[in-house]
Amino acid sequence: MSNKPRILTGDRPTGPLHLGHYIGTLKNRVKLQDEFDCFFIMADLHTLTTDFSKDKTSTLKDRVRGLVLDYLSVGIDPAKAVIYQQSKVPQVTYLESIFTNLITVPRAQRVPTLKEVIRDLNIKQPSLGLLNYPALMAADILMVKANLVPVGKDQESHVEVTREIASTFNKTYGEVFPIPKALIGDGGTLIGTDGQAKMSKSIGNCIYLSDDTETVNKKVKGMYTDPTRLKPTDPGHIEGNPVFIYHDAFNDNKAEVDDLKARYIKGQVGDVEVKEKLSLAINKFLDPIRAKRAEFEGKLDLIDQIIDSGSKKASLESQKTLDEVLSAMGIR
C-alpha cells in the first residue's frame, strides 16, 4: 500500500443516490481517489440499526449492487479506490466488540445523531445496535487506520467518538491507531425539488443519478419555484429558488443562466422556458453518467467481482490491524 494519507467514507445502501449526494460527496470522492489512498465502504451492517425487517434485509444485496453502479457511473474507479461491502469484512465486528468496552453508555446516548434518528423515525426505545452505531463506525474507520473521514455535518459527532475511542485505546494498550480527522465537505447541501428541505430520498424530493430523460423532464416540470410569482410578467426572486439553484449547480452555460436570471427578475421570462432549459442542462449533465452506467448495467458478475475484490483488500488491511490490536492488548 502507498504512503498517501488514507481516507474512509461511504454510504449506507438504503436506496439510489441522487443529485444531492453528487454535490455533497460523490464529486469530491472522484477527486480524492486520485490524491489519497481511498476506501469507500458500503455499510450494509449499519442499515440493520434502523432497517432490520426481513423485507429490508432480503433486498440488501441488490441495493449494494445498485450502490456500486451509482459509484461507477460517476467515475469512482475500483482500480484507484477500494470499494467494499462492510459485511464481507468480518474483522470489523471483532474490532467493534473490543471498542464497545472503551465507550460508556451515557457517552453513546449523548451523540446528537442518535437523538435525531430516534426523533425522525419515531423510535420508542433505541436498540443496543442503534446505540452502538458509533462503535461500529469507529471500527470501520480505525480498521483501515484512516487519517481522514469525509462526512456530512450530520456524521461529524460519530467521528468525534471514533477519535475518543482511538486515543483511549492508544493510551491503554499502546499506539496502534492514528487519530482520524473529519473532513466536512464544502459542496454544500442541495435543496430538494420541493424547495422545502434538503434533497433526501425519504422525503421523495429527489432527482436520482439513475433517472432517465423523461423522468427528469417530469420532475423539473413539477418543481417548486417562486411562490410569489403568479404570471410570467411578475418580477421573480432568484435567491432560494430551487430552479435557479439547480441552474447554478448543473447548467454549464453560464451566459444562459445569467440571461435567464436577468429576465426572471424583470418579469420577462416564463417558468416554462426556465424549466425547459433546466431539464436540458440536467440531462446534459447526466448523459455521461448514464453512458457510464450502461457499460456496467446488468453485468452482475462484473459488479459482484468488484465488490469481492475490494472486500478482500479491505479484509487484508483489517486483519493486519486486528493482529496489531490483539498483540498490543497482549491477547495474542
Q: Which is nearer to ligand ATP, 153 or 221 (CB)?
A: 153
Q: Which is nearer to ligand ATP, 202 or 327 (CB)?
A: 202
Pick from 51, 52, 47, 46: which is nearest to 135 by CA?
46
Pick from 103, 88, 105: which is nearest to 163 by CA?
103
Q: Cell numbers at residue 105, please?
A: 453508555
Q: Which helix (H) or strand (E) holds 6?
A: strand 6-11
Q: How far is the CB of 57 from ligand ATP (least distance, A)?
A: 16
Among 28, 113, 170, 189, binds ligand ATP (CB under 6 A): 189
Interactions with ligand ATP, residue window 195-214 (CB under 6 A): 198-202
DSSP category for residue 202: T
Q: What is the x/- site pattern for ligand ATP, positions 15-44, by CB under 6 A? A: -----xx-xxx-------------------
- Burial of 39 (C-beta count, 10 Å sphere; 0-12/13-18/19+): buried
Can residue 155 be called a binding residue for ligand ATP (CB under 6 A)?
Answer: yes
Q: Cell numbers at residue 331, please?
A: 491477547
| Residue nearest to ligand ATP according to CB distances in the complex | 24
Q: Which is nearer to ligand ATP, 129 or 185 (CB)?
A: 185
Q: How far is the CB of 279 from ligand ATP (least distance, A)?
A: 19
Q: Which is nearer to ligand ATP, 51 or 324 (CB)?
A: 51
Q: Which is nearer to ligand ATP, 102 or 149 (CB)?
A: 149
Pick from 308, 315, 291: which is nearest to 68 by CA?
308
The CA–CA distances, whole Å, from 228 to 75, 222, 237, 239, 294 equal 40, 16, 8, 13, 42
| 8 A C-beta contact, residue 76 and residue 31 | no
Can residue 190 be called a binding residue for ligand ATP (CB under 6 A)?
Answer: yes
List residues binding ligand ATP (CB under 6 A): 11-12, 14, 20-21, 23-25, 151-152, 154-155, 189-190, 198-202
